[in-house]
């Protein structure tokens, strides 16, 4: 039993060391896929309900934040959601989420949704957005997240763009998001 505790303590220490050093973008990358079913259609019955797709995006982004922070996370806001092209019932949809920026306790996650008409072998980008999550402790208070290790030029480009977005969007004393408009 003592040896088991020793191994657990060693595993815990190595995880803490890894968190202090940071985590890579690829560490937390997530893709979720599903076929859009009739019950997910909007009022006309042909196209996917936007709220269902947004929930899928939030779930993918939340899992990325959870993987990066290794703690509970909450959605703070969604920025720049763009409905580019419609998604139909029967389309195969994939939400791909990647962390692009971290501050002390917040994380920006980029989510891209592609849709595929499987029978026609056509694929297109349907939605994009940035989700901002905050890592929280057991009492719901913000807590620090590991730094982001940038492995390539794309990671660095997205991080810098995220930093600029972060610097133009703050929370006021009444917990309202104050974002600069471009």
With respect to residue 1, please indicate whether it lies within any of the assigned structural domains. Answer: no
With respect to residue 174, please indicate whether it lies within any of the assigned structural domains. Answer: no
With respect to residue 12, please indicate whether it lies within any of the assigned structural domains. Answer: no
With respect to residue 29, please indicate whether it lies within any of the assigned structural domains. Answer: yes
pLDDT in tens, 68-99: 999 999 999 999 899 999 999 999 999 999 99
With respect to residue 115, please indicate whether it lies within any of the assigned structural domains. Answer: yes
With respect to residue 145, please indicate whether it lies within any of the assigned structural domains. Answer: yes
pLDDT in tens, 114-150: 999 999 999 999 999 999 999 999 999 999 999 999 9
d(Cα 151, Cα 155) in Å, to the nearest integer?
A: 6
Q: What is the tally of structural domains in the chain?
A: 1
Evaluate whether 19 touches 70 at the Cβ level (below 8 Å): yes
With respect to residue 88, please indicate whether it lies within any of the assigned structural domains. Answer: yes
50: domain CATH number?
3.10.129.10
């Amino acid at each position: 039993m003592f040896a088991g505790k020793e191994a657990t303590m060693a595993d815990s220490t190595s995880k803490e060391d890894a968190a202090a050093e940071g985590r890579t973008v690829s560490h937390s990358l997530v893709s979720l896929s599903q076929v859009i079913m009739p019950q997910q259609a909007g009022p006309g019955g042909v196209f996917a309900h936007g709220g269902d797709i947004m929930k899928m995006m939030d779930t993918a982004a939340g899992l990325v934040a959870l993987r990066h922070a290794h703690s509970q996370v909450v959605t703070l806001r969604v920025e720049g959601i763009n409905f580019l092209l419609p998604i139909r019932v029967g389309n195969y949809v994939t939400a791909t989420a990647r962390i692009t920026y971290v501050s002390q306790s917040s994380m920006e996650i980029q989510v891209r949704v592609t849709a595929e008409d499987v029978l026609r072998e056509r694929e297109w980008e349907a939605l994009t957005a940035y989700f901002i999550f905050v890592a929280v402790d057991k009492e719901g208070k913000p807590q620090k997240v590991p730094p982001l290790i940038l492995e390539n030029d794309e990671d660095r480009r997205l991080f810098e763009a995220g930093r600029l977005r972060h610097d133009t969007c703050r929370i006021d004393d009444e917990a309202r998001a104050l974002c600069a408009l471009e």
